[in-house]
Chain A
Amino acid sequence: MTAMAPDDEQMLVARLRAGNPGAFDEVYDAYRPRIFAFLLRMTRHRTIAEDLLDEVWLRVVRGAPRLLPDTRLGPWLFTVARNLYWSYRRDAVVEESSVPELLTLWPCPRPWPSPFELAAAGELERRVEHALATLSPQYREAVLLVGHEGLTPTEAAMVCGISPEALRQRLSRARAALAQKLRETPAVPTLKRGFAT
């Protein structure tokens, strides 16, 4: 979550544009877990998050030569991930609405508590994960980008394709909704760790 110095980041971007594998590795190692965690919390489905993660990095390779020298890597990578998530989501909605009989076969919100939630270490963390999961995707992405990933509201607004002011409003509502859901969420029953995969 630590921000890279602007000069270091510009050097890294320049090397990435030139197709340097070492530069790619630096970016990949620094951002892969963050992007994956973001996608996992957005999709709530590990397999889909893994597939989207693959596509994010392949797009990074394709898009790297066209990067501007002053590109901020964090916001750019989260923008790619977010766009892929919304694209996946739109496709899933189209499929679900056009073939209602297949609806039950598509990934849908799991009955709580999900294995993902049970994997969380502590009781409080499980409650927060559950409360996050019940937020709308628009609220969830705002909370995750600013609250968890440490992006500034301006950067998060860029990622979400809205104005900074709109992002601030969305974030404020999202935080209020999250706090309300946390108050309403009862304690999660403890299950065996063997289920938490």
Chain B
Amino acid sequence: MTIDLDDEDDDLRTILANLRRYDVSHSRARQLRRRCHARLQTEPRTTAAWMVAASPFRGVVIPALGAAWCLTYLFEIIRYSGVISAYFRSQ
């Protein structure tokens, strides 16, 4: 616990931290686990394992490609503007 507690709170903090743990019965826990496993089998996966592994790579490459395309587009606009203005100046 990261909050500041003065001495008077120490007992309370200890009691709270050590309150009894509760759980459902074993049979209910097993039954719920089975239901969840069955759902896991049928749940559509939007992220395959290879996609999870590749996600940091995609996070870098896709923005980089996008930025490169934008820069090329901007460069071409400037270049064509220069060509057009040079044409009119020469007339």
Contacts and interface: CB of A to CB of B under 8 A. Distances in A.
B46 interface: yes
Given A32-B29, A54-B32, A128-B19, A61 B24 contact: no
Given A17-B47, A21-B37, A147-B16, A152 B2 contact: yes
A150 B35 contact: no
Interface stretch (B48-56, B64-72, B79-87): B48-56
Interface string A20-64: 010011001000111011001000000000100110011011101
B12 A182 contact: yes
Given A69-B55, A147-B1, A168-B3, A37 B21 contact: yes
A147 B12 CA distance: 9
Nearest to A38: B22
B52 A17 contact: yes
Contacts of A37: 19-23
Interface in B15-53: 15-17, 19-24, 28-29, 32-33, 35-37, 39-40, 43-49, 52-53
A61 B46 CA distance: 13
Interface SS of chain A? helix
A29 B60 CA distance: 36
Interface string A157-190: 0000000000010010001001100100000000
Given A24-B36, A53-B32, A124-B15, A18 B47 contact: yes
Given A32-B23, A65-B43, A178 B17 contact: no
A171 to B, nearest CB: 7
Nearest to B47: A17
A131 to B, nearest CB: 10
B29 to A, nearest CB: 6
Contacts, number: 102
Contacts of A81: none
A150 B13 CA distance: 10
Contacts of B32: 53-54, 57
Nearest to A68: B55
B9 interface: yes
Given A19-B45, A65-B46, A153 B12 contact: no
B74 to A, nearest CB: 33
Given A32-B24, A125-B19, A147-B16, A62 B33 contact: no
Given A32-B23, A179-B8, A182-B12, 14 more contacts: A18-B49, A18-B52, A21-B37, A24-B37, A28-B33, A28-B36, A32-B24, A32-B29, A50-B28, A54-B35, A62-B43, A147-B16, A147-B17, A175-B9
